[in-house]
Structure 1
Amino acid sequence: MQKILLKSLYLIASIKYPKVRSDLRYFIRDNYYCRLNQVKYIFKDYFVKKKYKIVNYQGEFDQELRYILPFAYWHHVNGTLERTVSCKDMKEFYFFSKNHEERYTERIWQAGYNYYEVPNMTHSNTFDYSKWLRVPLKKQYANSIFLYDKPALIIANKYNIEWDKPPVNYLDLPILGKLITSLKDRYQIIYNRPLAKQIVGDNSEILDLNEYAWIREAHPEVLLMNDLYERHSNEVNNFNHLQLLVYANCNRFISMHGGTAAFASYFEGINIILSAPGNGMEHHFNEFETIFPQLSGAKILHAKNREEVLQYVNLHY
């Protein structure tokens, strides 16, 4: 029955979106099936409304933030959330879950495939927000610890293997130098590129950009998230907890394609996302104008290259 439904939904996607590439229609098909699969929960979700839903996820951080967390939060608000299960150091993201288990010590990116228990589970040109609620991370973690004389601005960089290829979406040292020089007088810049030991990894190997020592020497006014972690280790539960506290007090972000972009989009303000065309499905489905702003109401500016990052910074920051 499932195979027949999937084939039928692919046909519907082909008829409705004839100009969409044939391979991309599989994403639309899968999201159709995810939504259709929710029909079996109508009675439990809207009439019985007792705690029953177990949200269990081990896939990519990006998908967890975009689809899983808002789904779990909806069930919490609806009164139907029984339990949540995720990866190590994710408890603070699920602050609303009274029964949360940190079961997994690694992420498996394939876990999102054929997982139809969430209304939105993959890339699509449309999303269903009927069981999807903004998670108030900014309100939950606003604090008086990470406040500075100048407004905070977070540069959330990354440097890792992408799609089994060398790094594409990252800020190199020359661009970092230009950004810091142009912004440091107006903002307290906080630089964030988590080390492999600080987060739960997936298939994307984290490489060394060799920027930490350079920033400390050339731009000592910049705060490094890694240094903040050491300095406040007695006040936070883990690196994710620190990130939540720091991000909650910030309204200006520069982030990279993937999990860093989704995370920064949770905290309102403006988020400049560097995402080069060619690999990410976000471009094909225009997701930087749909689900990314939806995460918190943040203004999302999609930079397709490093020079566009600089242009957006000059115009908006």
Structure 2
Amino acid sequence: MQRLVLKFLYVVAALKYPAIRRDLRYFVRDNYFCRLNQLRFAGRDYVSRSPYKVIDYQGEFDQELRYVLPFAYWHHLNGTLRQTISCSNTKPFYFFSENHLERYDKRIWEAGYDYYEVPNMTHSPTFDFTKWARVPLRDQYKNDVFAFDKPLLVIANKYNIEWDKPPVNFLDIPALDRIVTMFKATHQIVYNRPLATQIVGDNSETMDLKEHQWLREHHPEVVQMNDLYEQHRDNVQSFNHLQLMVYANCNRFISMHGGTAALASYFGGINLILSHPGGGLEHHFNEYATIFPALSGATILHARNRDEVFQHLKTF
């Protein structure tokens, strides 16, 4: 029966979005099926409304932030959340869950396939926000510990294998040098590129950009998240907890395609995202104008290359 329904929904996707490439219609089909699957829970969600929902997820961090976490928070608000299960060091994200289990020590990106338990679970031109609620991470973690004399600017960089290819979406040292020089007089810059030992890995191998030591030597005024973690590790639950506390005090971000961009979109303000075409599918579905700003109401600026990064920086 499921196969027949999926075939029917593919036809629906093809009729509704004839301009979308045939191979991309499968994503639309899957999101349709995710939403249809929620009809099974109508009685529990809207009538009995007792705690029953167990949300168990081991897939990509990006999908967890965009789809799973807001779904879990909706169930919390609805009174129907029973338990959340995810990867190591995710408790700070699920602060609202009274029964959160960190079961997995590694993310499996394929876990997102055929995972129809959440109304939105993959790329789509539209999203269903019926069972999706903004998670108030900023309100939860705003603090006086990471307060600085100047407004914060967080540069959330990455340098890892993407789609089984060499790194694509990252700021190299010359770009970092130019950005820091532009803003260090007006902003306290916090540089964040987690080490492989600080986050739960998936199939994307983290590589060495050698920028941490370079920043210490050439721009010592830049505060590095790795250094903050060493200084405060006795007072934070994990590196993720630290990120949330620092991000909650910031409203200006420069971030990279993927989970890095999704996390920075949770805190309002402006998030400038570097995301080259040809890799992820966010561009095809215009998601930087839909699901990303929905996470907090943030203004999302999409740069398709480093030149566009600097164009946005000059304008905004």
TM-score, normalised to structure 2's length? 1.00
Aligned to 2:137: 137
Structure 1, residues 218-275: CA drift from partner, whole Å, max 9, x if none?
Answer: 0000000000000111110110000000000000000000000000000000000000
Segments of 5+ residues of structure 2 without an aligned counterpart are: none
Aligned to 2:281: 281
Q: CA deviation at 1:314?
A: 1.2
Aligned to 2:175: 175
Aligned to 2:39: 39
Aligned to 2:228: 228
Segments of 5+ residues of structure 1 without an aligned counterpart are: none
Equivalent position amino acid for 2:252 in 1: R
RMSD: 0.4
Aligned to 2:128: 128
Aligned to 2:263: 263
Q: CA deviation at 1:315?
A: 1.1
Q: CA deviation at 1:311?
A: 1.1
SS of the aligned residue for 1:198 comes to coil
Q: Does 1:250 align with 2:253?
A: no
SS of the aligned residue for 1:307 comes to helix
Q: In structure 1, how many angstroms separate the alpha carbons of the residues matched to 2:202 and 2:99?
A: 25
Q: CA deviation at 1:157?
A: 0.2
Equivalent position amino acid for 1:235 in 2: N
Aligned to 2:184: 184
Q: How many residues align?
A: 316
SS of the aligned residue for 1:103 comes to strand
SS of the aligned residue for 2:128 comes to coil
TM-score, normalised to structure 1's length? 0.99
Aligned to 2:108: 108
Q: In structure 1, how many angstroms separate the alpha carbons of the residues matched to 2:229 and 2:80?
A: 36
Structure 1, residues 23-69: CA drift from partner, whole Å, max 9, x if none?
Answer: 00000000000000000100000000000000000000000000000
Q: CA deviation at 1:307?
A: 1.0
Question: Could you tell me the percent identity over the aligned residues?
Answer: 67
Q: In structure 1, how many angstroms separate the alpha carbons of the residues matched to 2:8 and 2:288?
A: 29
Q: In structure 1, how many angstroms separate the alpha carbons of the residues matched to 2:237 and 2:181?
A: 33
Q: Does 1:157 align with 2:153?
A: no
Q: In structure 2, how many angstroms separate the alpha carbons of the residues matched to 1:22 and 1:112?
A: 20
Displacement over 6 Å in runs of 4+: none
